[in-house]
Amino acid sequence: MAKIPAEPRARARKPLLQLTGVRRSYGEREVLHPVDLALAAGECIALLGHNGSGKSTLLRIAAGRDLPTKGTVRFDGLAMDENDPRIRARVAMVGDTVACYPDLTVREHLLLVAAAHGVADAREWVEQVLADRLLTERADALPSALSSGQMQALLLACALVRPRDLLLLDEPEQRLDPEARRRLAELLRAELADGVAVLLVTHHTDLAREIADRVVVLEDGRIVSQGPPGKVLESLGTGSASAR
Ligand SMILES: Nc1ncnc2c1ncn2[C@@H]1O[C@H](COP(=O)(O)OP(=O)(O)OP(=O)(O)O)[C@@H](O)[C@H]1O
């Protein structure tokens, strides 16, 4: 499906997202040690690591939802701030928490997001995204009636029904069956081909291998390995499937 274009589009190969010396502490405990990361338009980085290694923290900081204790995050040259409308219009995130309105249907959620982002032809787009995510038959369902896979599809659909130049995803493969995972990989390839930058937290090494340009491995809040997926995953000894 063609993506809704954001204005202005980031076309250059210079980093769209740049994290420099990012640290994060909770009290005395440092959960991210200085981390540097640069992501260009049309590029995908897969962030891997054991539970608690700091992946979600890094993703939230990359999205401007959390602030680093030290270091900087820049998006297309701007200081990252999720309240900045210039940034909010171009950054879409599917986080690790389920947040929706209990009294709005699947379709109403998507119409609301599309309207909030000023999408022209919102109704058409919503129907298209519903069809692409196999949600058409559940369009009139309330969140409480959705299966966990359908809920995951709705959260992803909310990110796809609006403009975006940067897509941040926290374990989007969770709760998806193999066919839905295959469709997710297909979707992400299309996003990348459209020039969207993708930062993907995943435990699924096959997904990382399939779509990432680079894999970055975190361990106790430090980058311990990074590079092309084949090389990094081989060095981890993860032939396929998920790594936890
Ligand atoms: N709000 C918080 N207060 C205190 N500690 C926190 C907070 N959020 C995260 N942490 C700690 O920071 C560390 C990194 O957590 P994070 O959720 O980023 O890891 P993760 O790699 O995403 O793990 P998982 O794969 O289980 O989602 C963990 O030890 C976690 O307990």
Residue 238: the pLDDT is 62
Identify whether 35 is part of a domain: yes
Identify whether 5 is part of a domain: no
- Same domain (yes/no): 116, 227: no
- Same domain (yes/no): 152, 177: no
Residue after which a domain boundary falls, among 163, 183, 201: 163
Pairing, β 70-75 against β 78-79: antiparallel
For residue 234, the number of C-alpha atoms closer than 13 Å in the C-beta half-sphere is 5
- Same domain (yes/no): 80, 107: no
Residue among 53, 60, 169, 222 whose CB has most ligand 1 atoms within 8 A, to mutate = 53
Tokens read off for 59: 């993703």
List strands edge to edge, sheet with 70-75: 29-40, 15-26, 70-75, 78-79
Q: How far is the CA of 59 from the centre of ligand 1 (A)?
A: 11
> Rounded to whole angstroms, how far apart are CA atoms 54 and 207?
20
- Same domain (yes/no): 174, 58: yes
Which atom of ligand 1 lies nearest, measured to the CA of 221? 14
| Ligand 1 site residues, Cβ closer than 6 angstroms | 26, 31, 49, 51-57
Q: Nearest-CA neighbor of 25 among 16, 15, 35, 17? A: 35
> Rounded to whole angstroms, how far apart are CA atoms 118 and 201?
28
- Same domain (yes/no): 23, 45: yes
Tens digit of each residue's pLDDT (9 = 90 or more) over 146-159:
998 899 999 999 99
- Same domain (yes/no): 157, 183: no
Residue 192: the pLDDT is 97
> Cis omega before residue 8 (within 30°)?
yes
Predicted model pTM: 0.90
Residue 2: the pLDDT is 53
Tokens read off for 20: 């420099």
Ligand 1, atom 5, lies closest to the CA of 26
Sign of the CA dihedral with 44 first, then 49, 55, and 58 last: negative
Identify whether 2 is part of a domain: no
- Same domain (yes/no): 157, 172: no
Residue 5: the pLDDT is 52
> Rounded to whole angstroms, how far apart are CA atoms 11 and 91?
15
Identify whether 116 is part of a domain: yes
**What's the CATH code of the domain at 20?**
3.40.50.300
Length of the chain measured in residues: 244
Q: Could you give the number of structural domains in the chain?
A: 2
Q: How far is the CA of 54 from the centre of ligand 1 (A)?
A: 6
- Same domain (yes/no): 102, 198: no
Q: How far is the CA of 170 from the centre of ligand 1 (A)?
A: 13
Residue 207: the pLDDT is 94
pLDDT below 50 — which residues of the chain?
Answer: 7-12, 239-244
> Rounded to whole angstroms, how far apart are CA atoms 69 and 118?
34
> In which domain, by residue range, is 213 found?
14-90+164-244
Tokens read off for 234: 């081989």
Q: How far is the CA of 33 from the centre of ligand 1 (A)?
A: 13
Residue 99: the pLDDT is 82
Q: Are 24 and 30 in contact (CB under 8 A)?
A: yes
Tens digit of each residue's pLDDT (9 = 90 or more) over 21-42:
999 999 999 999 999 999 999 9
- Same domain (yes/no): 173, 73: yes
Identify whether 74 is part of a domain: yes
Q: Nearest-CA neighbor of 109 among 133, 149, 142? A: 142
> Rounded to whole angstroms, how far apart are CA atoms 55 and 67?
14
Residue 224: the pLDDT is 95
Give backbone dihedrals phi and psi of 117, rounded to 5 degrees, phi first.
-100, 10
Q: Are 184 and 178 in contact (CB under 8 A)?
A: no
Residue 1: the pLDDT is 52
Q: Are 90 and 166 in contact (CB under 8 A)?
A: yes
- Same domain (yes/no): 74, 140: no
Q: How far is the CA of 145 from the centre of ligand 1 (A)?
A: 30
